[in-house]
Amino acid sequence: MAEIVGGGRPVNDAERRVIAYLRDHAPADWLLLHNVEVPRGDDVFEVDLLVLTGHSLVVVDVKGTRGRIEVSGTRWFPPRREAFGSPVAKLRGTAKALKGLLVSKRTQLERVYVDSLVVLTSPDAELVDPAGRDAVNVTDLPRLIPTLSDVTRVRRGCSPDAKPYLTAILDALNQTVRRSTAPPRFGNWEVEEQLGGDAKITEYRAFNATLPGSETVLLRVYQADPLADVEARAAERQRIANAYATLARIPPHPCVVRSRDFFAIDDESRFVLVLDDVHGQALHLSLGTGARLNVIQDLLRGLAHAHANGVVHRALTPACVLVTDEGHAVLTGFDYAKPGPRNYTVAHELGNVLDAHYVAPECQERPDKMTPASDVYSAGVIAYQLLTGQLPTSSDAHGPEVPEVVRRMLDHSPVKRPTAAEALDALQGVPLQKSRLRRLVRRLVSGS
């Protein structure tokens, strides 16, 4: 039975399960510290669990995510919810920051390995990581203790025996970490679950603290620099507020995610965007598996509605489209959108986030020149990929299963592409009596 040496209040049942499991089953010489915060400058790293084994200090993040989770780049794509930033990437950063703080307190702790591990607690959780970058730092509850016990995880240059450093580690932790006394709370929203994120954005599922049991919302919490000069802070505030400013310009529509609020925390070190919690899975998970025609139509409905209100999405990919349990698509991901004329721009950020497969030819070198026509091209790539399971190329973009309107959406000349509204009208008017299109629709319906 491991010893719990302190900690704050667990946020959810998944955390309680892991803490109780380690307390009851881990070796008696292991020490547990749960629900603490690691301050570093103006940042605060929230840590679910610290485990001090015989050979390392392990930073643990607990995730109750269910079902098949696909890893693509720096994003996780779970079923029935929006994609979120890899918790592994963020946890590695937290482990690195903690190691730096420990060494700053006791230089001999340079020899102690600080590991990071994400624990999936749901019995049906399955991580699919083709590149293998995240899987090495992910485990489940049955494999948790064997993974923590694996001394081969200690990197070269660090000691495989942490016992001689035990007193120094505990003393440094006592000077470094602080107890988290309650679940994070932003304004009136209390966190139910941390979904993921990166160094700039953390995503949470939360509920209204004055009405427990009410519907949940999605919080996107953006880090900011409150010590920057006035001009830099104003530019950062505008960049962070871009998604809210954009969505505020768009009247409510069933195919566009709805924003509820946007506000600053404390000294503007963080900003919070409150969005509807759309219960669906990212379209990324449906590519190549068949999809109903109405998913493409819903995508075009949302895009046409945005365009009609002067908004250019500019970063449209399958990760920005959620498909609900009822099979309807909702357009999200407006952080880099352009909401009509304004006196500032976030276009210089686009080069860091765009997926070249979905960028129109005329914008490959000039993402700042994106227009509604380039959005239509991106939607055409997504539609083509849904219908065929492949990305379009100049040689295969005229396959027999691709409707004429989708081919026109992929035209290299922006003036020859239909608008999103025209493309929607064309798809709604597909003459089903034609045998080729009957086969297309039959395939879509049977594959959904």
Based on the fold, state whether residues 86 and 214 are members of the same structural domain: no
pLDDT on residue 8 = 78
Q: Domain range for residue 207? A: 185-276
pLDDT on residue 274 = 94
Model confidence band, residue 64 (pLDDT cutoffs 50, 70, 90): confident
pTM more than 0.75: no
Based on the fold, state whether residues 189 and 307 are members of the same structural domain: no
Contact 334, 242 (CB under 8 A): yes
- Per residue in 387-400, pLDDT tens? 888 888 754 556 66
In the predicted model, what is the mean pLDDT of the chain? 85
Based on the fold, state whether residues 438 and 369 are members of the same structural domain: yes
pLDDT on residue 218 = 92
- Residue % of the chain over a pLDDT of 70: 87
Q: Are strands 138-140 and 113-120 parallel, antiparallel or unpaired?
A: parallel
pLDDT on residue 400 = 60
pLDDT on residue 443 = 46
- Per-residue burial over 126-137, b if 16 or more Cβ lie within 10 Å, else e, is ebebeeeebeeb
Domain boundary among 155, 179, 203: 179
Domain boundary among 179, 198, 214: 179
Based on the fold, state whether residues 74 and 130 are members of the same structural domain: yes
Cα–Cα distance measured from residue 84 to residue 4, given in angstroms and rounded to the nearest whole number: 31
Domain boundary among 179, 200, 218: 179
Cα–Cα distance measured from residue 61 to residue 194, given in angstroms and rounded to the nearest whole number: 10
- Per residue in 320-341, pLDDT tens? 899 888 889 999 989 888 887 6
pLDDT on residue 223 = 84
Any idea which residue has 């920005």 for tokens?
320
Based on the fold, state whether residues 326 and 238 are members of the same structural domain: no
Q: Give the C-alpha distances (Å, rounded to integers) separating 173 from 43, 99, 186.
A: 17, 10, 27
Query: What's the mean pLDDT in 223-233?
Result: 80
**Residue 281: beta bridge partners?**
323
Contact 290, 447 (CB under 8 A): yes
Based on the fold, state whether residues 335 and 254 are members of the same structural domain: no
Based on the fold, state whether residues 168 and 264 are members of the same structural domain: no
Query: What's the mean pLDDT in 181-188?
Result: 75
CATH number of the CATH domain containing 430: 1.10.510.10
Domain tally, the chain = 3
Contact 194, 74 (CB under 8 A): no
Instruction: Tell me the torsion sign for CA atoms 22, 91, 333, 295.
Output: negative
